[in-house]
Amino acid sequence: MSAPLSAAVAARPVRLTPPALAVRCRGPDPFELAVLVALAVLSLWVISTDIYHAVSHHLVWTGTDGFFIVDQMQYLAWIQSAASHLTISNLFVLRSTPADYLQPAIAISGVLTRLGLPAWLSLLAWKPVAVGSFFMACRGVVHRCLSTTFDRRAALALCVLFGSVSWIYGALGVVGDEMPMWLSWGYPFGLIAVALVLWALLRYDRARGEQRLRWGPGLLGALASSLHPWQGELLIVVVLGLELVRLPELARGRGRGPRQWLADPRLRLAAVTIVLTALPLLYYFALGHFDINWGMARDNSKHAFPLSAIALGVAPLAVVALLGYRGRSADFLELALRVWVPAALVIYVLSATALSATPLHAFNGITVPLAVLAVKGVRKSPLSRIPRARALAVLAVLVGIVPANVYTLSYAHRYTGVKPDNANYVTADERNALTYLDRARDRGGVLSQFYLGVAVPGRTGRHVFVGDCLWSEPDCVPRMMAADALFQGQLSAAASQRFVRQSGARFLLASCEQHVDLSQTLGSMVVSARRFGCAEVWEVTVPPPAAERLASAPSARTTAAAVGPSGTGGGP
């Protein structure tokens, strides 16, 4: 915990007043319902633009929802795998991989897909859950922390809809992880995890006020960790920070030996909450160390993102929220919100180490503490007493919501447009070829161009040779180049046959991009060939044993050996 924060919350003895044992509030009022409807409508923007682009260009939308197709196709592949096992294996390679990943929401979607619901619809079913749960959790925190209707409305609008542009790598943009609207575009599990953390803090606040041990906060934290581990880590750091602030107060009690400390229900509550929340994190840690697929995916997802861009993205709200750190607070939940921001920085730093990855996820839900602290800070400052303060507050809230959201909507419309090598949209012929692979009785994996390979697992439930460079490892790029060279006719017949045989694939899928007729190239290896307009599927002879397959090789050197140094093959 930073020195300024410690000084702000622990300069004097902190005596936490017990909250109301039951925070009862009526259902959402018309304004709150309008905020919910606004988030729900905005959450459908990318889907709407995808459908618009697909119809305009006479293409087929593949059911993705979000900026980054690799994330969406990864979720769809997980659902297809869960439909078979409940647990998840890596479908983006042709080698056998353990089905050792269990994610509760994906498991439920897998059951729905097993019952006949398309995988993309099983994933989209979580969008209303995410939007509704996040809104209700924000509303619960706002009603617990603020007393007047105007303050609650201002904070709720900022919690749910705030956004700001930033300067990222020399260009104007948005830090999507800081915007709830952006998270609603294809990242429902992150949004649900934020809601679970908020509910956990509300229940923790109540249990602590009652000085009773409750399992609810820990169970909610465990579910948050299972869905999106960054939020579970955040909850642990927040609870630890809060209880460390309270330690001096406990230490001043006379005659407090080890038994008295262990008997304190508040410390036991903290311990149970932290342990339960940490259990799924230990599971993720084990996956990354004992499953080579998870280890390589974690390493490949590491990236550096400038903290300056993150800070600039929340600066308009964070500057005002600094007012909320003034003075001493006797309210536990307010202290939790004060700790949230430095806790997110801790998770950001941790995620940039070898222990984790994707540091931006640490800032999911950051608008919630900043919005509440900003409103509380303004209420306690001289700003609340200036002429026409309420009208200026409304204007400030609109400035914090409208410009960045309009910019992001416009950017999303452009970004999701039809582009080459983007499987957000496929042709009707490619869709028919994928449908054939989905329904074909013969088992076996697929070798396709990289462009269409990303869609194979999520649409067919089959393994693919290459399709996602987080999971098609090791040596995704050499795999991609070799596969594309095969379909473009850059390999000799002997090299093509050797490569296909050692790839381990049973089916070859050619997209509507320019490709050669592999029936002539592969000769007697072809068992059957089916044409779907401009797309084609070839079934080839049964692959060799796994030990002889290229898919099982640890390095691209085997790819080079199969294809040959010049791309023409190394001999018959």
Q: For 459-517, what is each residue's pLDDT tens digit?
A: 999 999 999 888 998 889 999 999 999 999 999 999 999 999 999 999 999 999 889 99
Tokens of 354: 């070898």
What is the structure's pLDDT at 106? Answer: 97
CA dist 207 and 572 (Å) reads: 74
User: How confident is the model at residue 326, as a pLDDT?
Assistant: 87
164 burial (CB, 10 Å; 0-12 / 13-18 / 19+) is buried
Q: What is the CA radius of gyration of the chain?
A: 27
The C-alpha atoms of residue 197 and residue 274 are separated, in whole angstroms, by 12
How far is 556 from 503, CA to CA, in rounded Å?
12
CA-based nearest residue to 539, from 469, 462, 475, 473: 462
Which pLDDT tens digit goes with each residue over 376-428? 999 988 887 888 889 999 999 999 999 999 999 999 988 888 887 788 999 99
* Structure tokens belonging to residue 200: 């956990």
Cα distances (angstroms) measured from residue 267 to each of 15, 224, 246, 248, 332: 15, 22, 10, 13, 14
Distance between CA atoms of residues 340 and 133, nearest Å: 20
Give residue-wise pLDDT tens across range 305-324. 788 889 999 999 999 999 99
Q: In this structure, are strands 165-168 and 171-174 parallel, antiparallel, or unpaired?
A: antiparallel
The yes-or-no verdict on residue 16 having pLDDT over 50 is: no
pLDDT average, residue stretch 528-555: 76
Instruction: Tell me the CB-side half-sphere exposure of residue 348, using CA atoms within 13 A.
Output: 19
- pLDDT, one tens digit per residue, over 236-295 is 999 999 888 766 665 555 455 556 656 677 888 999 999 999 999 999 999 988 988 888
At 183 the pLDDT is 95
pLDDT at 211: 83
pLDDT given for residue 53 in this prediction: 93
User: Letter for the amino acid at 497?
Assistant: Q
Say how far residue 527 (Cα) sits from the centre of its chain.
41
Using 50, 70 and 90 to split pLDDT, how confident is the model at 551? Answer: low
- Return the pLDDT at 384: 79
- Say yes or no to pLDDT of 118 above 50: yes
CB 267 within 8 A of CB 253: no
Of the listed ranges 63-72, 80-89, 461-470, the least confidently predicted one is 63-72
pLDDT of 559 over the 60 cut: no
pLDDT of residue 231: 96
351: pLDDT confidence band, cut at 50, 70 and 90?
Answer: confident
Phi-psi region of 509 (alpha: psi -120 to 50; beta: other; left: phi over 0): beta
Mean pLDDT rounded to a whole number for the chain = 87
**Cβ neighbours of residue 319 closer than 8 Å, sequence gap 6 or more:** none
206's CB contacts (< 8 A; 6+ apart) are: 19, 21, 22, 23, 214
Task: Give pLDDT, residue 355.
Answer: 66
Quote the CA–CA distance of 132 and 79 in Å, as a whole number.
22
For 41, counting Cβ atoms within 10 Å of its Cβ (0-12 exposed, 13-18 middle, 19+ buried), the class is exposed
Per-residue pLDDT at 568 exceeds 50: no
Alpha carbon distance 165, 155 (integer Å):
20
Cα separation, 14 vs 327, in Å, equals 11
Q: Provide the 10 A C-beta neighbour count for residue 323.
A: 18
Residue 431 reports pLDDT greater than 70: yes
Both ends of the chain: CA-CA distance in Å?
A: 66
Confidence of residue 302 (pLDDT cuts 50, 70, 90): confident
Label each residue of 405-472 as H, E or C. Answer: HHHHHHHHHHHCCCCCCCCCEECHHHHHHHHHHHHCCCCCEEEECHHHHCCHHHHHCCCECCCCCCCC
Average pLDDT over residues 159-178: 89
Overall average pLDDT of the 525-550 stretch: 84
Q: What pLDDT does 83 receive?
A: 96
Residues 227-238: pLDDT tens digits? 999 999 999 999
Mean pLDDT of 154-161: 97
- Report the C-alpha gap between 136 and 430 in whole angstroms: 41
Read off the pLDDT band of 353 (50, 70, 90): confident
pLDDT of residue 13: 39
pLDDT score recorded for residue 299: 80
Q: For the chain, give the percent of residues with pLDDT over 70.
A: 86
Cα–Cα distances in angstroms (integers) from residue 143 to residues 19, 29, 147, in the given order: 12, 12, 7
What integer pLDDT is reported at residue 329 of this predicted model? 75
Over residues 93-103, mean pLDDT: 92
Q: Can you tell me which residue has the tokens 């709150």?
A: 32
- pLDDT band at residue 571, thresholds of 50, 70 and 90? very low
> Which of 233, 244, 192 is CA-nearest to residue 349?
233
Using an 8 Å Cβ cutoff, are 309 and 168 in contact? yes
pLDDT at 21 over 50: no
Residue 562 has pLDDT above 70, yes or no: no
